[in-house]
């Protein structure tokens, strides 16, 4: 199974992708995570991407599509892929078609997380992750069960993203509206889009996604 989780920054793509990984043994392919790893490692890709990401603009299509191809090649052929934060432009959507067909994969579902933009700033400014295992949390909506300790791995180190501030979020939302939302019709024409209410409680969103995958 190969699926895309689509939605603006803070819609819940990463959170829901992590849950699908745990339940179904699929792989999460997050171009945001790949780019942050490249920035941290100081690779040539990271050096090119750093300032663009800090501004909340989009990194070049060539860079992110190359990262996706490499990641797919590192996976078993029967491991399902969850694309999180990719594709984000029409050019990336076209690249993904080629990347998948070259590997004998087909796209099964595009799940659109439908959210109210007014809620996104609060979601993003309250977001943090475990510095050890990457599990996502929120100051108000998803606290660790034991305060200060990761539910999944027990680490007590957490981190926040430098681009998770209100000003950058506005740019990221504008980028989503201008460049990413227009790819939906491509997938609608193929009849593979399902819309899920991303404003519901976390567990309800997960249940709605499971229903799509079963159907």
Catalytic residues: 13, 88, 127, 161, 172
**Interaction of residue 172 with ligand ADP, rule CB under 6 A:** yes
68 vs 78, beta carbon nearer ligand ADP? 68
**Interaction of residue 144 with ligand ADP, rule CB under 6 A:** no
Binder among 60, 125, 143, 155 for Zn ion (CB under 5 A):
155
Q: Note whether 20 and 31 are within 8 A (CB).
A: no
**Interaction of residue 80 with ligand ADP, rule CB under 6 A:** no
CA separation for the pair 53, 172 (Å, rounded): 9
Question: Which pair of structure tokens corresponds to residue 97?
Answer: 């078609």
CA separation for the pair 96, 125 (Å, rounded): 31
**Interaction of residue 12 with ligand ADP, rule CB under 6 A:** yes
Burial state string for 142-169 with b = 16 or more CB within 10 A and e = fewer than 16: eebeeeeebeeeeeeebeeeebbeeebb
Binding to Zn ion (CB under 5 A) within 15-74 occurs at: none
Binder among 38, 58, 81, 208 for ligand ADP (CB under 6 A):
58
Best CA proximity match to 144, nearest among 133, 130, 131, 132:
130
- Per CB under 6 A, residues contacting ligand ADP are 7, 9-15, 31-32, 35, 52-53, 56-59, 64, 85-86, 88, 92, 123, 126-127, 136-138, 141-142, 172, 198, 202, 205
């Amino acid at each position: 199974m190969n699926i895309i989780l689509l939605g603006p920054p803070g819609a819940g793509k990463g959170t829901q992708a992590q849950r699908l990984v745990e339940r179904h043994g699929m792989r999460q392919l997050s171009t945001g995570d790949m780019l942050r790893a490249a920035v941290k490692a100081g690779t040539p890709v990271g050096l090119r991407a750093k300032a663009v990401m800090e501004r909340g603009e989009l990194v070049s299509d060539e860079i992110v599509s190359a990262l996706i191809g490499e990641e797919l090649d590192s996976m078993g052929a029967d491991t399902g892929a969850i694309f999180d934060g990719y594709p984000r432009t029409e050019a990336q959507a076209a690249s993904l078609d080629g990347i998948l067909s070259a590997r004998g994969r087909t796209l099964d579902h595009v799940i659109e997380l439908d959210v109210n933009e007014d809620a996104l700033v609060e979601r993003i400014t309250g977001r943090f992750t475990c510095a050890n295992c990457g599990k996502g949390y929120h100051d108000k909506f998803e606290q660790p069960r034991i305060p200060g300790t990761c539910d999944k791995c027990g680490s007590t180190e957490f981190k926040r993203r430098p681009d998770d501030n209100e000003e950058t979020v506005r740019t990221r939302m504008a980028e989503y509206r201008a460049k990413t939302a227009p790819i939906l019709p491509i997938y609608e024409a193929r009849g593979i889009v399902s819309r899920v209410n991303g404003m519901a409680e976390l567990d309800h969103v997960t249940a709605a996604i499971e229903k799509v995958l079963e159907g």
